[in-house]
Amino acid sequence: MTPEEFRARAHQLVDWMADYLAAPGERPIVPPVLPGDIARHLPPEAPERGEDFDAIFQDFERLIVPGMTQWNHPGWFAYFPANNSPPSILGEMLTATLGAQCMSWLTSPAATELEQVTMRWLGGLLGLPEGFTGVIQDTASTATLVALLSARERATSHRAGEVGLQAAGGPPLAVYASAEAHSSVPKGVKLAGFGLEMLRSIEVDRDFALRPAALEERIRRDLGAGIRPTCVVATVGTTSSTAVDPLEPIGRICREHGIWLHVDAAYAGAAAILPERRWIFEGIGHADSLVFNPHKWLLTNFDCSAFFVRDLPTLLRTFSAAPEYLRTPHDAVVANYRDWGIQLGRRFRALKLWFVLRSYGAEGLRAMLRRHIALAAEFRASLEARAGFEVLAPSPFGLVCFRHRPAGLSGEALDGHNRALLERVNADGSVYLTHTSLGGAYALRLAVGQWRTEPADVERALRLIFSAARSLHAEAP
């Protein structure tokens, strides 16, 4: 591709991108395809000869776009948002164009220094106390694994990393998290060598938040049995219902026993930039590490996960690897982010975040979060005002968990009814919700968090939910 051709194609694609963003909602949010439907139309082998760009782009429009699930859609209420925004998309374009690999300061000084600055900005916006240093990881799952590995290394004075967990001897190491913690916690516990049997699943209260008394009791029991409590993962905004584990009492327990406290605020952490939601981080001063995802609810394209750590020497000793070929003249005085996590090669993720933070300003980001929280509150109020609907958990952010509970239905029949309700609502194609299990009950989740979601989209979801409930009721035997 010549530079002139590149220029023309880039303009063509930018026009396509602007049209795509301007006209959501024409296709169903989840494409009506079956497994294998897309791959079947693609050749089994890579082309021997280069192809014409028009042909590639036509196939993109014809085969790929109709097979994409539209996370960008204003009717997206599923999971948590994986948001983006025009400034973030533009930042990603420039990252791709610069094509830098940002493993050390020398391999892209501006990328390292911009990451330091944006992480400091984020720490300030979240109101983090002094002592935390930030670094961008790809995802919250990776950040939690990084925290678990660091906790393991601190607890074994780096023997686990040096001679291996078994040879290190010493007491067995245990990790604690609520029964509502994200699946990245057991995954990390497995990968970090603790073993799933050493993950203590701590009971939650009726709002699905970890009960500190149950945590303390379990820690004391383990200590009595010669087990070393190593890490507690507290969740601020659980995946199922956005429950907030109380950091202050959990943190005090961790302090007393020298346990690493990692806070997983993957989704809800963004809300701490609102003074009226700052309470979610009460006690954060006790934490050793914290993760939250600008790629969820802060308008930044996937992937961008902000990880803050207090014990930097332990992190660096856990992840440093400096063979001769990676050494640079400034190693003693610069941040080489290859030593701050698992991967060596790193993308320039700070650029899109910088574009977002500057384009919207804290004020603009707060306005978006408040709009989403208000829309979720209105949705909740409408459900509560409607006979037969039940809200199943507190909703301090953009998520509402609920179910339809017609008289006479319970147990599996009630779960089946709500499963059918969800299917019927999603079949419309203009909104998309997902489900979870709360206290053993099948629950529907509506998460407001897409930047283009308007009141009309939430109203459409409500209408579809009410109408599906009516028609299922009418069809009941």
The residues of the shown chain that bind ligand PLP, judged by CB under 6 A, are: 80, 139-141, 182, 184, 235, 238-239, 264, 266-267, 293, 305
CB–CB of 176/232 below 8 Å? Answer: yes
In the complex, the smallest distance separating the C-beta of residue 110 from ligand PLP, rounded to whole angstroms, is 25
Considering the complex, state which of residue 305 and residue 314 has its C-beta at the smaller distance from ligand PLP: 305
Q: Which is nearer to ligand PLP, 111 or 243 (CB)?
A: 243
* Nearest CB to ligand PLP, comparing residues 308 and 389: 308
Pick between residue 165 and residue 188 the one whose CB is nearest to ligand PLP. 188
Question: Least distance to ligand PLP from the beta carbon of 139, Å?
Answer: 3
CA contacts within 13 A on the Cβ side of 416:
7
Closest C-alpha among 77, 206, 127 to residue 464: 77
DSSP 25-85: TSS-SS----TTTTGGGS-SS--SS---HHHHHHHIIIIIGGGS--TT-TTB-SSS-----
> Taking Cα atoms as reference points, which of 415, 453, 413, 455 lies closest to residue 432?
453
- Please state the closest distance from residue 292 (CB atom) to ligand PLP, in A: 9
**Shortest Cβ distance from residue 291 to ligand PLP (Å)?**
8
**Can you read off the two tokens belonging to residue 28?**
């169903």
CA dist 287 and 310 (Å) reads 8
Residue 400: CB minimum distance to ligand PLP, A: 16
Nearest residue (CB) to ligand PLP, 149 versus 421: 149
Q: What is the DSSP letter of 198?
A: G
Provide, rounded to whole angstroms, the least separation between the CB of residue 141 and ligand PLP.
3
Which of 141, 318 has the CB closer to ligand PLP? 141
Per-position DSSP letters for 288-335, written without gaps between them: SEEEE-HHHHSS--S--EEEEES-HHHHHHHH----GGG--TTTTTS-
Q: Which is nearer to ligand PLP, 254 or 266 (CB)?
A: 266
Least Cβ distance, residue 189 to ligand PLP (angstroms): 14
Residue reference for tokens 């913690």 = 181
| Calpha distance 285→449 (Å, rounded) | 28
**Smallest distance, ligand PLP to C-beta of residue 183, A:** 8
Identity of the residue, 70 or 184, whose beta carbon is nearer to ligand PLP in the bound complex: 184
Q: How far apart are CA 305 and CA 337, in angstroms?
A: 14
Cβ proximity to ligand PLP: between 135 and 464 the closer is 135
**Under a CB-based contact definition with an 8 Å cutoff, are residues 315 and 150 in contact?**
yes
Residue 81 CB: number of other CB atoms within 10 A? 26
Cα-atom radius of gyration of the chain, to the nearest Å? 24
For residue 350, which amino acid is it? A
Least distance in angstroms from the C-beta of 243 to ligand PLP: 10
Tokens of 398: 């953009």
